Structure 1
Amino acid sequence: MTALGVTAPGVGEIREVGAAAFAWLSAHRDDFALGEDALTLDGHVDATWKPLGELAQTCASVRAHTQPTDPLHACAADLLRFAWQQTGRGELFLRLQRLEPFATYPLEIYSVFASAGLRHAGYEAAAATTARTRSWRLTEQDPTRRLGVLKAERRSGIHRPERAEQALRRTWLGGLPEPWTFERSSGYALTHVVFHLTDWGRTPAGVPADLAAYLAHWLPPWLDTCLDAGMWDLGCELLVVAASLPVSPDPATLRHAWARIARAQHDSGALPEQDPRDGPGADREPDFLRCYHSTLMAAFAAAQTLKCLAGEGSADSDAAYTGQGVPG
């Protein structure tokens, strides 16, 4: 029993959370579509390219972490194809390059598709030319973002001498800070550091030994704190991190966390970013921009947790990969 008085879910229930999240994402795919303002200088990147890029990253990751026979794999592959088509099969990145040659977000988003084998030679050539300039190299970015840009360059075939290790040790996580200084902003920073180091969960060995040991000790209480506060979006990101470390946490820690996530998920599959508690509209599904990212993270975290639990030799491990218990 968990502290909430409910039985911690097995892989079947975790899978149901992921399947429901994918059902919501599929039903709302048109909300991820790029509008006419996606190529205007005054367009809102956070409402156009950012949601599409995050959809692509989640789907590319889930596709990589599941077997082709898994229904979650099929859902992820379908939505990834949709996202790629929205970019004109990469052509819109070349147009963005001409409009904003020194913006990094087009390369960061494009690199997600490149990591999944979806490439546009013309854009890669243009981006490589820009990356050779001093202006690109000297763009001021916080260390976590810099780490992500370097990863995006490598994914896209751009190789420069700058070392990621230097950026890593300037991040909050890379400095091994006092654990009691953990807060929301540092939480999101550390999750993205781990995402970049592990290529979004593909290579756990990418986390240096000192960081892995630090996270193994402190991640469980941080996760518990976030879930106690109803921070479902950050909680799911921390679950991805937990399932991406070289040494996985106690499976009970993962299962107990999923009991809370399952309770917070709406029947539609949407997961709110933050628990609204008992205020007005607490039972209403939040609008798209207030739940799409947390729902993406629920889908990603479910797939990564299932992979982790299967690797632990759980009695349920066969179900984790064969798709048993997934709604049709």
Structure 2
Amino acid sequence: MTAMGVGEIREVGAAAFAWLSAHRADFALGEDAFTADGHVDVTWKPLGELAQTCQSVRSHLAPSDPLHACASDLLRFAWQQTGRGELFVRLQRLEPFATYPLEVYSVFAAAGLRHPGYEAAAATTARTRGWRLTEQEPTRRLGVLKAERRSGIHRPDESAQVLRRTWLGGLPEPWTFERSSGYALTHVVFHVTDWGRTPAGVPADVAAYLEHWLPSWLDTCLDAGMWDLSCELLVVAASLPDPPDLATFRSAWTRIATAQHDSGALPQEAPPEDPKDPEDPEDPGPEPDFLHCYHSTLMAAFAAAQTLKRLSGATDDDTEAGGAGHASYAGRTHTRHGGQGVPG
């Protein structure tokens, strides 16, 4: 494959959006999104991540960009799936102390798509001690604080203190990096930069630490075939105060492009036993099912858009104002929503 340039990075993003558009029906909500034993990981999580990625891409690219139009179309689809916000009211009644409805809703609120009734109900719950004292890991706490602000719930900002309680904020020994800490650090950067819109939100010492170690961590993930986390790390690289050096990350983009299917789908990981044709080393093998490639495909689209914006030198003042992540929602009420949360 030829060396990756800006045009080739755009092709990765365009192909990812082509796949997302073709598979929009797989993001649709079914009645299982409201059942007592429903799996949020396969209902609200994919829809929330679709909305967050599309909202982010819209904010990073000019309205004249075809990718902006595609992202806007998918964001409208996601909003319609929520009954234009009405389904959040239903979730509020079912699980008043769960945070994932507010996290998903806040993505739409950042795009100017709001439901006053839900916001009023969520604000009432947020005033309770039960809500404020829910125990959360620091990375998740950053996401909830961001969701509250986006949704009009205001309280003293504790983000700076919470940041220092995260793995990344503590500037740990670089050799302690692993999958879980990798996903945690990407979400910390997503939250403090408002999904790449405000690179200055990364403290100077954290930015310097990432600039030094991120290339090595990215190479480790690429060598392991961890395409999903690799794309998230590429987003981080393009979200730091200093724009990314294309020469530093050119090889990473080449490997992501090679792993991407012609359809635009990007597998979450390389298969344990790679079934590629040895005579065609650029063949990514059989396309995985929706649940094993939708998030990594979202992150490929997001990483491409964020990288294109930073390499062009554009700022968010040049694009449309507004607000792809890795999440896990397990259990009900307080425990139903685990992991790093809907990107938001």
- TM-score, length-normalised on structure 1? 0.91
2:179 matches 1:184: yes
3-state SS of 2:169 partner: helix
1:254–1:305 Cα contact (<8 Å) kept: no
2:177 matches 1:175: no
* Partners of 1:228 and 1:304 in 2: CA distance: 23
* Partners of 2:84 and 2:259 in 1: CA distance: 36
Deviation at 1:8, TM superposition (A): 2.2
2:119 matches 1:119: no
* Partners of 1:72 and 1:32 in 2: CA distance: 19
2:190 matches 1:208: no
Aligned to 1:311: 313
2:294 matches 1:299: no
* Partners of 2:43 and 2:101 in 1: CA distance: 12
Number of positions where the alignment pairs a residue of Structure 1 with one of Structure 2: 308
2:19–2:264 Cα contact (<8 Å) kept: yes
Question: Which piece of structure 1 moves more, 245-254 or 38-47?
Answer: 245-254
* Partners of 2:170 and 2:2 in 1: CA distance: 37
Aligned to 2:333: none
Question: Which piece of structure 1 moves more, 101-110 or 240-249?
Answer: 240-249
2:238–2:244 Cα contact (<8 Å) kept: yes
* Partners of 2:157 and 2:96 in 1: CA distance: 20
2:99 matches 1:97: no
* Partners of 2:205 and 2:242 in 1: CA distance: 12
Deviation at 1:256, TM superposition (A): 2.0
* Partners of 1:95 and 1:175 in 2: CA distance: 39
Deviation at 1:229, TM superposition (A): 1.2
Deviation at 1:247, TM superposition (A): 0.9
2:244–2:307 Cα contact (<8 Å) kept: no
Deviation at 1:162, TM superposition (A): 5.2
* Partners of 2:54 and 2:288 in 1: CA distance: 22
What is the RMSD computed on CA atoms of the aligned residues?
Answer: 1.4
* Partners of 2:119 and 2:111 in 1: CA distance: 15
* Partners of 1:7 and 1:170 in 2: CA distance: 42
Aligned to 1:148: 143
* Partners of 1:279 and 1:239 in 2: CA distance: 24
* Partners of 1:193 and 1:215 in 2: CA distance: 12
Structure 1 segment 1-328 matched on structure 2, within 5 A = 6-161=1-156, 163-276=158-271, 278-279=273-274, 283-311=285-313
Q: Which runs of 5+ in 2 are unaligned?
A: 277-283, 320-344
Q: Deviations over 1:15-47 (max 9, x none)?
A: 111000000000000000001111222111000
* Partners of 1:277 and 1:127 in 2: CA distance: 44
Deviation at 1:288, TM superposition (A): 0.3
**AA at the equivalent of 2:210:** L
- TM-score, length-normalised on structure 2? 0.87
* Partners of 1:156 and 1:101 in 2: CA distance: 15
* Partners of 1:94 and 1:249 in 2: CA distance: 41
Q: Which runs of 5+ in 1 are unaligned?
A: 1-5, 313-320, 322-328
**AA at the equivalent of 2:159:** A
Question: Which piece of structure 1 moves more, 159-168 or 73-82?
Answer: 159-168
* Partners of 1:269 and 1:197 in 2: CA distance: 29
Q: Deviations over 1:123-180 (max 9, x none)?
A: 0000000000000001011110001000000010101125112211110001000001
* Partners of 1:207 and 1:162 in 2: CA distance: 16
Kindly, what percent of the aligned residue pairs are identical? 84
